[in-house]
Amino acid sequence: MAGIGHKPDASLSAGPGGDDRAYAAMIARAKLLIPQLRDRASQTEELRRLPAETERDLHDAGLFRIVPPERVGCSELDYVALVDCADALGRGDASVAWNFANLASHHWMLGMFDIRAQDLVWGKDPNALIASSFIFPAGRARKVNGGYVLRGSWPFSSGVESSEWNMLASVVASDDEADGIEYRIFLVNKSDYKITDTWNTSGLRGTGSNDVEVEDAFVAEPMTVAVSDLAGGPTPGSAVNPNALYALPVFSLFPYVLSGVALGNAQACLDDYVDLARHRASTYNRAKLGDLQTTQIKIAEASSKIDAARLIMRATCIEAMTEARRGHVPGMAAKTRWRRDGAYSVNLCTEAVSLLFAASGARGLFTAGVLQRQFRDAHAINSHIAFNFDAAGTNYGRVALGLPSENLTL
């Protein structure tokens, strides 16, 4: 089934400048995993991390390597691939899609680091996974000869147990902050941080998004990148990775790393609901659910939200790539619009799942069914700060009114 309310996946393309055949082949590989991901979903929740066989499936399909450069043997697909592949995987299990999108995107970001960082990671093991926590106030770093000394405690590091490296965000400042502060990202080997098992949650249970702690670790200068270098345009990695993919403004597009997870989860919820309504009769009056006008309206409303979300997500990613190919760095109005639309589109997906959950009555309450997991995962996804529409909308409104942006990462 292609899915209710949208065109078949064969119609997806990377947009202008992309290789549509390679793109379609990668989406097809992601779709082939859906049945086993659904079968393993309960096990994934029980483990509170991805099963080893699931990670192996993602590696074997080449999905973790969709956005690193071709020069290291990867696919170098356009940015929208993160949305479309997460959309496909999310129809099987949102936790898997979440970790895929997180871990794959960090290899895209690595392409913007100094070549010495790229060589150290990809030269040793191109399949090594990289976790992250982009919560800048969680860390504190000070400049020393040859690099930085980093310390801090970061939450929400998805997939960290399976990762060899971690991108940790920190504030750089002297003790008295006399010279101001800088936002910087540090690429840290697992030997330099401690993992604390904290991930006991109601949603996205299988992501293993545990805490990490660093205590006065030295991080060499080439293993770091300033957030100001990721705002769009040339980066420290541009000399070896000239593709416009590595000139995108990272944090302006941050919501779209993960937004496809919400999309796939919502699409699966809708497809399951439609399939059930086609064959099930009401418990109370034996009327066929598919013949009820209320059922038909719910399908129309949910599918319109999901389709609109998909259009917003894909259009934004394609627009960003088109602008980057032109050598254009977007202004703050465009950057805050992209953040606004990323939050809004995920909110639409959450609304669709909530609508279908309410329409399903008591059936949705059974833990043996998939609907309760889709509902929990939808709201867990929506709790990410990137999808907080109040925050994104406020900043967009500020910029529209001529006030400065309050998001220091843009």
| 371-393: pLDDT as tens digits | 999 999 999 999 999 999 999 99
Confirm if 320 and 15 have CB atoms less than 8 A apart. no
Average pLDDT of the chain?
93
What is the C-alpha separation between 215 and 217, in angstroms, rounded? 6
Confirm if 104 and 147 have CB atoms less than 8 A apart. no
Tell me what pLDDT residue 116 has: 98
Q: What is the pLDDT of residues 190-211, one digit of tens each?
A: 999 999 999 999 999 999 999 9
Portion of the chain with pLDDT greater than 70, in percent: 92
Q: What is the pLDDT of residues 71-105, one digit of tens each?
A: 999 999 999 999 999 999 999 999 999 999 999 99
Structure tokens that stand for 59 in this block: 């590696």
Expressed in percent and rounded to 5, the helix, strand and coil fractions of the chain are 55, 15, 30
Cα 140 off chain centre by: 25
* Statement: residue 4 has pLDDT above 80: no
Confidence of residue 291 (pLDDT cuts 50, 70, 90): confident
Confirm if 156 and 135 have CB atoms less than 8 A apart. yes
Confidence of residue 322 (pLDDT cuts 50, 70, 90): very high
The single residue listed with the structure tokens 């800048």 is: 136
List b or e across 25-61, with b for residues whose CB sees 16 or more CB atoms inside 10 angstroms. Answer: ebbebbbebbebbbebbeebbebbbbbeebbebbeeb
Q: Phi then psi for 374, rounded to 5 degrees?
A: -60, -40
Rg of the chain (C-alpha set): 21
* Statement: residue 231 has pLDDT above 60: yes
Confirm if 134 and 250 have CB atoms less than 8 A apart. no
Confidence of residue 179 (pLDDT cuts 50, 70, 90): confident
Q: Is the pTM of this model over 0.75?
A: yes
Cα 132 off chain centre by: 12
Tell me what pLDDT residue 1 has: 46
Confirm if 224 and 244 have CB atoms less than 8 A apart. no
Confirm if 245 and 322 have CB atoms less than 8 A apart. no
38 vs 174, residue with greater confidence: 38
Tell me what pLDDT residue 142 has: 95
Nearest CA to 206 out of 373, 367, 85 is that of 373
- H-only helix segments in 125-206: none
Tell me what pLDDT residue 46 has: 96
Tell me what pLDDT residue 283 has: 56
* Statement: residue 17 has pLDDT above 80: no
Q: What is the pLDDT of residues 157-168, one digit of tens each?
A: 999 999 999 999
The single residue listed with the structure tokens 């719910």 is: 298
* Statement: residue 280 has pLDDT above 80: no
Give the pairing of strands 165-172 and 139-144.
Answer: parallel
Confirm if 330 and 232 have CB atoms less than 8 A apart. yes
Mean pLDDT value of segment 235-243 = 97
